[in-house]
Copies of this chain bind each other. A is one copy, B any other.
Amino acid sequence: MASRAKATILDIAREAGVSKSTVSLVLQGSGLIRPETAVKVRKAIEDVGYVYNRGAANLRKAHSNVIGMVINDLTNPFFAELAVGMERVFQAAGIVPFIANTAENPVRQEEVLKSLMEQGVAGLIVSPARGTTPGAFRRIEAAGVPIVFTMRRLPESRIPVIAPDNHRGAFIATEHLILKGHRRLAFFGGSSDLVVYQQRLGGFLEACETLGIPIADRTIVEGETSRKGGIACLETALAAPEPPTAALCFNDAVAFGVMLALRKRGLEAGTDFAVVGFDDVAEAEHYMPALTSVAVDTAGLGERAAHVMLKMIQSRTTRAKDHIGAVSLVVRESCGQSRNTRGAGMGDAA
């Protein structure tokens, strides 16, 4: 049982009185071996406390079933939900994805990617850190390892992206606010070096444009994409002479921050100031007041990303179509009386 040196396939072979090749075949579940032999071998495997050495196997096989998931902020529950979706499909495929966190740090990201590559991953699902340099993935692409980006894309890259329809999400949310009668609107949180930010802000601006909100009545406050950032955004915005009466927030974390800051001032989200979030994390529903938010089907995006990855690996390609996920506005209490409207979404896109 507590054999010191770790057992190999040869130990099993000796124990079971067969050749190493036979053991290998059994290990791979080949139908070529006689059932009784298989049983004998399996018993030996148990007896010697064998653990399969995937490194050695990969050396010969040249494709590993390891998939790396590189995430820029594990602390944001959104990414945890995304990860959960992916794991569901990988689990079904008998694959254990390894998650690594870059903490929004491109240098750390470099290390993480290097390590994953050295480990011989079959594919990489990445939400790139802010400030990732354009060439960061060139080596990996050159090595022929499939990559898919989730949620975020790099400015020029040809790597497939799985993301929600940010522009449309922001558009319908803004539209909702305007139709509720708000005329002075704000966009809170995020920073312009992110492509997502530009998309969401773009949707916001287009809605303003289309529905006749003059530029002077639009407030844009960049900030951290966290509760803290949201608090700061609201403070800044309310300090203006003609403050906004409603805000679309870059994500739910920012929205939660805004609601807290409101309450600190004795104001109530929904009645005194309308706030809409983005992502619709699980918490949004249970908040008080419940947060109106753009639902992006987080887990679904995770599943989709995993499926795309699986297909890429299987078909030995490094290309795939982008997937822009449908979004919908979930109207709750944080922007006025709670009618149960649901905005429309959309399907696949280039």
CB-defined interface of A95-138 with B at 8 Å, one 1/0 digit per residue?
A: 01111110100001001100111111000000000000000000
The DSSP consensus for interface residues of chain A is helix
Residues of B within 8 A of A52 (CB): 118
Residues of A at under 8 Å CB distance from B?
1-4, 6, 49, 51-56, 58-59, 64, 66, 74-75, 77, 80-81, 83-84, 87, 91, 96-101, 103, 108, 111-112, 115-120, 139, 142-144, 227-228, 231, 257, 259-260, 263-264, 282-283, 286-288
Does the CB pair B98–A98 fall under 8 Å?
Answer: yes
CB-CB under 8 A from A144, the residues of chain B are 4, 6
Contact of A66 among B81, B91, B97, B119 (CB under 8 A): B119
B111 engages A100 (CB within 8 Å): no
**How far is it, in angstroms, between the C-alpha of A126 and the C-alpha of B48 when the chains are bound?**
25
Contact yes or no, A56 B59, CB < 8 A: yes
Minimum C-beta distance from A334 to chain B (A): 14
Out of B2, B54, B99, B117, which one reaches A51, CB within 8 Å? B117
On whether the beta carbons of A142 and B2 are closer than 8 Å, the reply is yes
Cβ–Cβ < 8 Å partners of A80 in chain B = 74-75, 80
Known: A55-B119, A99-B99. 20 other contacts (CB 8 A): A49-B139, A49-B142, A51-B143, A74-B80, A74-B83, A74-B99, A75-B77, A83-B101, A84-B103, A91-B111, A96-B111, A96-B112, A96-B115, A96-B116, A98-B100, A99-B100, A99-B101, A227-B286, A228-B286, A260-B288
